Amino acid sequence: MYNSSASLFKLRPYARFAARILGYELVGEGNSWSHAKEYKLFKRRLPSGFSNSKSDPYFTPFSVPITSITSRVCFSYSEDGWHPFVQTLREYEENPVLRYEESTLARVYGKYTPQNVQEVLLDQVRTPLPPFCSWPPSYELVSWVWTLNKYSVQHRLKQLQQNTKHNGWILFGPHAVEYGRKEFNRLIAVYESIKRTGYIPKVSSTDPINGYILKDEDRIRFVLLQGNHRVSALKVLGYSNVDVLIRPGHPAVIDKSNLQRWTEGSGGIYTSTLTEHLFDTLFTELGLQKARRLDLM
């Protein structure tokens, strides 16, 4: 008996490879042919202005200013920004015997406990914004917000139904004290390692610093998906740039002039209002306003 789901599942790696050969990244999830229309192609190129803009940014590292980086939950590394990891490391520099319970990180894990994705990404918006207001604050939903389609959302929500407890992530709570201490010690260890031996800007094949780019005309911001501890330590230690990659399976660039690609009218799952709020918040929020709103300082 012909199994269409299995057929697409087997063909998907070849389709992704063919897209790469042609200079595109195939973004999407789904195993049946009915899900095929939810896949989208994005160019595997950096915007002009990068020294290696003609190279493949999924494999060839490129340098970005640390001050241009923000986290996926809008805590940034800009000069006027605020980030709980950075703040905790600065407290540690001032007090080398700092305990986790006395740190900014502990305050964040205790006070920043979002109940849905909207409270993670768009806490400043008071009116409910579907579907964010109904999604649980899952790491996977927050991390892949620009790649989600109907299939992937249904799949993730089904998995999350098996775990009704709202667990936090490394940049928000709630967390048990034991987890907080472990994360605090990990952050300090990364900082001390780089301080002692320096940072070798070799991109790891198993744990690369990666993310994606937001573009608004000629302005750029890099949204960090992996490497939060390292970038935070580099920021505090005075480094100005870091080598990064684009996350595989993610669009290289989210361009404000082309946000309609993520709206319901173009096969997406968001309203135009939500996509505009999401882009503008990730691009302009420095973290300081958010920390004040949530009483994290």
Angle subtended by helix axes 104-111 and 84-94, to nearest 10: 150
Structure confidence at residue 9 as a pLDDT band (50, 70, 90):
low
Q: Residues for the chain: how many in total?
A: 297
List the domain boundaries for the chain. 1-43, 45-293
Q: Which amino acid is at 267?
A: G
Q: Quote the pLDDT of residue 267.
A: 85
The tokens of 72 are what? 């996926």
The 10s digit of each residue's pLDDT in 135-193 is 999 988 999 999 999 888 988 898 888 776 657 999 999 999 999 999 999 999 999 99
68 vs 76, 80, 99, 128, 220, CA distance in Å? 8, 11, 30, 30, 7
Beta bridge partners of 226: 210
Q: pTM for this structure? A: 0.93
- Spatial contact of 254 and 145, defined as CB atoms under 8 Å apart: no
Angle subtended by helix axes 84-94 and 228-236, to nearest 10: 50
Distance between terminal CA atoms of the chain? Answer: 61
The 10s digit of each residue's pLDDT in 142-152 is 999 999 998 88
